[in-house]
């Protein structure tokens, strides 16, 4: 039973840990958006590594310093730990606005990436120190503490999107300061029965904490005031929006909105009349404005009076060619953007246009220009769906005369927070097969992609056609035409010195006719376009080898990444089997881990501490579950992303389910196996292994068969499938701390084991992506199974070491 002193102290720890975990996840997820704006979209993934790095350092520093603390009684111990928790919580609150100011002041360039990494890790260091002290303060209640930790993290996934939409990424980060410091100070003041020393300490902090809390709460409220521009995240110099903001005399910045997976800016050239509904028609430009996603990926909004004749200007561009090749009555546009592709479809005579747009902020931005833009999203013959394009086409039975996918890139569709990889399922063999199945007999798949992607795109088209039609490589060449898109529609080049440019790719489930081939050749000549592939009549090298049964091996031997993307390994944008960026990131986290290991060994040697077999097994256990948890978590997120579709739903359902179920599992491990942690491991890991095998064999089939269900049913199915595995994954860390507490003189290893677990999680986030590129996500499931099996073996070795030590002690006594 708790004494009157210990029970409120436990509540204090639970409250502090809940808000520290909630704030850490909010900070981490918002930081992915900040990195995407400042650096580049693929650096968003780095935020997870930064967070774990800071948390791990904080925990290990507390572990090194803990032996220097001296106290005479349990009451004095609780008092000193409480004061340190409050100090680190206030330090976190101070570091957050300093971080936001610095991150905005550092020149936004990838050359400063290490500086961004270092500055970003400081708040996480203080958060990690708070969390380590909480675990250290009462390790015997680890199940309840870890439950509060994971429930706080799960709550963050629910709060992120409304907070991002209300305040924006930089101010969401600022709001975490009062959450951490406020919960610690309020909790300490509410404690009863503590010695007066803690009250004296909190009194000293009241003024400083009050200033910090007031400042961080006022900044979001006054966020639009010029006085707070210093806290606003600005695009990096390699971003398109950077140039526009640096030239206000030419470009006007109209609006900025955030959600959990993007920042949407709207800009326009100043020659456009300032009144949205009064466009100066005397100007040559037809572009009303540009919608810019994460400061770079742009989609235009064009002026249109709503008549067919006002779209005739589009006919001179290569984007219009597919509508001349054959009659198109129904079009599916994947990625509606500002409405450009809708206008092309309407100009081509399409009587019904179905539009799938992932980001609702893009649609709302386009609708701001409804009157001068002709309200393309609100026309009677245009049907809009807010959904992921791949999930939509997987769930519909409709067929179309044309499916248009124009420059729909991964950074516009990645999961909120970067927990999923920055790839999507639009560019896989399974996706292309579905596109072909959803075309009418003479329908066309129309794509606009960049020329440097052709070495990846051409094999994808060839393999998909062969699998879907059952024809040979030579035969499927009759189904493909590829034309360099010059001058193109908005994206096209006018400068012959340009080295990258879009290409028009048209794929049919049936061979192109001679008339269609002749028309394409004629239009290409008129539009200064180069032909890369014209059915089987002309195929530019080296793609001629790809469509040859005898030469295709030679083609794959000369490309940098011969692996064709599939749903199990959807890395279309990876130009190498494992991109250099991933190798550098993996080397970095391994180097950090090695450096921390050296630091710990030095500290142990300095204190003349000895790592026995039992402690070594516990450390291995921490490493295995740290790696295994992150690899399984990221793999599950990526797998279920296809089922749920939208990034917001993926965040709130998938990540919430994993974190909440793991938190409940942590609590149950203490309730069901209190005092018997080894039994908890030996019972839970085999069941978890069975669940992983079940997912390995059946998950993809379940997703394919249930993707047509309504959103509520899909969300419920996701929770039902994830919850049991997450529950058992949550057993392991509390069991580890309980195992350590059973060893004499090792109960103070809580901070070490938590720090090692966090550092292993850093490696796990990078390994999850790297391994998926090599063995696929199904292979990741088996690797995760092996890691948890390794944890069970480590627990067995630890238990055997304890038994041997007990036998030896008994022998000595005899």
Q: Which residue has the higher pLDDT, 391 or 209?
A: 391
Domain made up of 317-558: CATH architecture: 3-Layer(aba) Sandwich (3.40)
Query: Six-digit token pair at 643?
Result: 């089922």
Cα(441)–Cα(195) distance, rounded to whole angstroms? 82
Task: Tell me what pLDDT residue 750 has.
Answer: 83
Q: What CA–CA distances, in Å, run from 241 to 245, 264, 274, 290, 292?
A: 6, 11, 19, 10, 7
pLDDT of residue 276: 44
Q: Which of 59, 222, 68 is nearest to 132 (CA)?
A: 59
- 404 phi and psi angles, rounded to 5 deg: -110, 125
Task: Report pLDDT for 216.
Answer: 55
Q: Which of 344, 337, 301, 491 is nearest to 412 (CA)?
A: 337
- pLDDT recorded at residue 781: 97
Cα dihedral 454, 109, 577, 698 sign:
negative
Domain boundaries, the chain: 1-235, 317-558
Amino acid 644: pLDDT? 87
Three-state DSSP class for 703?
helix
**Considering only CA atoms, which of 352, 300, 355, 348 is closest in space to residue 321?**
348
The dihedral formed by the CA atoms of 794, 797, 799 and 800, expressed in degrees to the nearest 10: 170
The pLDDT, as a whole number, for residue 398 is 96
Model pLDDT, residue 418: 38
Architecture of domain 1-235: Up-down Bundle (1.20)
Count the neighbouring beta carbons within 10 Å of the beta carbon of residue 261: 32
Mind listing the pLDDT tens digit for each residue in 730-789? 999 999 999 988 876 555 678 888 888 888 988 898 888 889 999 999 999 999 999 999
| Measured distance CA(126)–CA(184) in Å, rounded | 13
Say which DSSP state 730 is in: T
Q: Token pair for residue 535?
A: 């059915």
Structural element, H or E, at residue 111: none
Q: How confident is the model at residue 61 (pLDDT cuts 50, 70, 90)?
A: confident
If residue 791 lies in a helix (H) or strand (E), which one and from where to where? Answer: helix 750-813
For residue 196, what pLDDT is reported?
A: 40
pLDDT bin (cut points 50, 70, 90) of residue 626 is very high
Q: What is the mean pLDDT of the chain?
A: 84
Residue 491 reports pLDDT greater than 60: no
- Segment 77-100 mean pLDDT: 87
pLDDT, residue 75, reads 67
Over range 582-594, report the average pLDDT: 79
Over range 460-471, report the average pLDDT: 96
| Mean pLDDT computed over 482-494 | 59
Question: CB neighbours of 74 closer than 8 A, spacing ≥ 6?
Answer: none
Distance CA 58, CA 422 (A): 29
What percentage of the chain carries pLDDT values higher than 90? 50
What are the angstrom distances between the C-alpha of 35 and each of 42, 96, 612, 663? Answer: 9, 16, 42, 29
Same fold across 1-235 and 317-558: no
Q: What pLDDT does residue 326 have?
A: 93
Q: Does the structure show a pLDDT above 90 at 594? A: no
Confidence of residue 95 (pLDDT cuts 50, 70, 90): very high
What pLDDT sits at residue 486?
61
The 10s digit of each residue's pLDDT in 152-173 is: 999 999 999 999 998 889 889 9
Average pLDDT over residues 451-474: 95
Separation CA 568–CA 531 (nearest Å): 33
Cα–Cα separations (whole angstroms), residue 300 to 139, 378, 620: 57, 17, 54
- Residue 548's closest CA among 432, 425, 466? 466
Answer whether residue 107 shows pLDDT above 50.
Answer: yes
């Amino acid at each position: 039973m708790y004494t009157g002193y210990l029970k409120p102290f436990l509540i204090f720890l639970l409250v502090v840990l809940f808000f520290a975990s909630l704030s850490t996840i909010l900070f981490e997820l918002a930081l992915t958006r900040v990195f995407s704006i400042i650096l580049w979209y693929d650096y968003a993934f780095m935020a997870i590594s930064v967070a774990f790095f800071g948390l791990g350092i904080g925990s290990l520093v507390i572990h090194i310093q803990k032996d220097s603390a001296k106290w005479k009684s349990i009451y004095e111990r609780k008092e000193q730990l409480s004061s340190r928790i409050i100090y680190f919580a206030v330090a976190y609150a101070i570091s957050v606005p300093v971080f936001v100011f610095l991150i905005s002041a550092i020149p936004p360039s990838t050359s400063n990436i290490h500086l961004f990494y270092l500055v970003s890790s400081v708040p996480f260091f203080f958060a990690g120190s708070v969390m380590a002290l909480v675990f250290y303060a009462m390790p015997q209640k680890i199940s309840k503490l870890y439950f509060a930790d994971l429930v706080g993290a799960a709550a963050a996934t629910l709060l992120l999107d409304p907070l991002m939409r209300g305040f924006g990424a930089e101010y969401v980060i600022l709001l975490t300061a009062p959450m951490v410091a406020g919960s610690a100070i309020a909790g300490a003041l509410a404690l009863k029965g503590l010695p007066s020393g803690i009250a004296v300490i909190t009194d000293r902090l009241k003024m400083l904490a009050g200033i910090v809390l007031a400042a961080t709460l006022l900044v979001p409220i006054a966020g639009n005031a010029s006085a707070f521009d210093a806290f606003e995240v600005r695009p990096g110099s390699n971003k398109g929006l950077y140039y526009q903001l640096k030239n206000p005399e030419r470009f006007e910045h109209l609006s900025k909105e955030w959600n959990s997976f993007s920042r949407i800016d709207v800009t326009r050239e100043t020659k456009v009349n300032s009144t949205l509904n009064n466009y100066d028609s005397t100007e040559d430009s037809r572009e009303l404005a540009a919608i810019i996603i994460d400061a770079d990926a742009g989609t235009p909004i064009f002026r249109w009076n709503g008549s067919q004749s006002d779209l005739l200007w589009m006919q001179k561009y290569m984007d219009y060619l597919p509508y001349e090749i054959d009659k198109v009555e129904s079009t599916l546009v994947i990625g509606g953007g500002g409405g450009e592709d809708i206008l092309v479809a309407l100009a081509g005579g399409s009587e019904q246009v179905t539009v799938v747009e992932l980001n609702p902020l893009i649609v709302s931005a386009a609708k701001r220009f409804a009157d001068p833009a002709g309200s393309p999203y609100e026309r009677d013959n245009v049907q809009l769906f807010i959904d992921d394009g791949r999930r939509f086409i997987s769930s519909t039975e409709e067929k179309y005369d044309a499916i248009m996918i124009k420059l729909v890139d991964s950074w516009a569709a990645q999961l909120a927070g970067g927990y999923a990889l920055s790839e999507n399922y639009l560019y896989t063999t399974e996706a292309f097969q579905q596109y072909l199945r959803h075309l009418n007999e003479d329908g066309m798949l129309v794509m606009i992609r960049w020329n440097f992607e052709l070495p990846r795109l051409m094999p994808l088209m060839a393999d998909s056609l062969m699998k879907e039609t059952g024809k040979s490589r030579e035969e499927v060449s009759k189904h493909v035409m590829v034309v360099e898109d010059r001058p193109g529609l908005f994206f096209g080049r006018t400068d012959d010195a340009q080295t990258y440019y879009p290409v028009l790719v048209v794929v049919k489930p049936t061979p192109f006719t001679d008339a269609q081939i002749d028309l394409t050749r004629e239009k290409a000549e008129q539009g200064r376009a180069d032909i890369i592939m014209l059915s089987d009549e002309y195929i530019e090298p080296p793609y001629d080898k790809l469509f040859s049964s005898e030469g295709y091996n030679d083609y794959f031997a000369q490309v940098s990444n011969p692996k064709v993307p599939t749903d199990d390994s959807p890395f279309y944008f990876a130009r190498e089997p494992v991109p250099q960026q991933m190798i550098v990131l993996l080397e970095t986290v391994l180097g950090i881990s090695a450096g921390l290991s050296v630091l710990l060994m030095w500290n142990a040697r300095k204190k003349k501490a000895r790592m026995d077999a039992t402690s070594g097994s516990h450390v291995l256990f921490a490493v295995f579950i740290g790696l295994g948890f992150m690899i399984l978590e990221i793999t599950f997120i990526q797998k279920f992303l296809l089922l749920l579709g939208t990034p917001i739903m993926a965040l709130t359902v998938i990540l919430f389910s994993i974190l909440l179920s793991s938190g409940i599992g942590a609590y149950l491990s203490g309730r069901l196996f209190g005092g018997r942690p080894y039994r908890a491991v030996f019972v839970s890991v085999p069941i978890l292994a069975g669940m992983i095998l079940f997912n390995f064999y059946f998950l993809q089939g379940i997703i394919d068969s249930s993707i047509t269900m309504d959103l509520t049913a899909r969300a419920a199915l996701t929770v039902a499938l994830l919850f049991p595995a997450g529950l058992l994954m949550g057993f392991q860390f509390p069991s580890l701390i309980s195992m350590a507490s059973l060893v004499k003189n090792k109960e103070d290893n809580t901070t070490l084991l938590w720090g090692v677990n966090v550092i292993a999680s850093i490696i796990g986030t990078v390994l999850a992506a790297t391994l998926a590129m090599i063995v696929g996500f199904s292979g990741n499931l088996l690797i995760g199974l092996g890691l948890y099996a390794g944890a069970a073996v480590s627990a067995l070795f630890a238990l055997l070491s304890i038994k041997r030590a007990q036998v030896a002690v008994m022998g000595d006594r005899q």
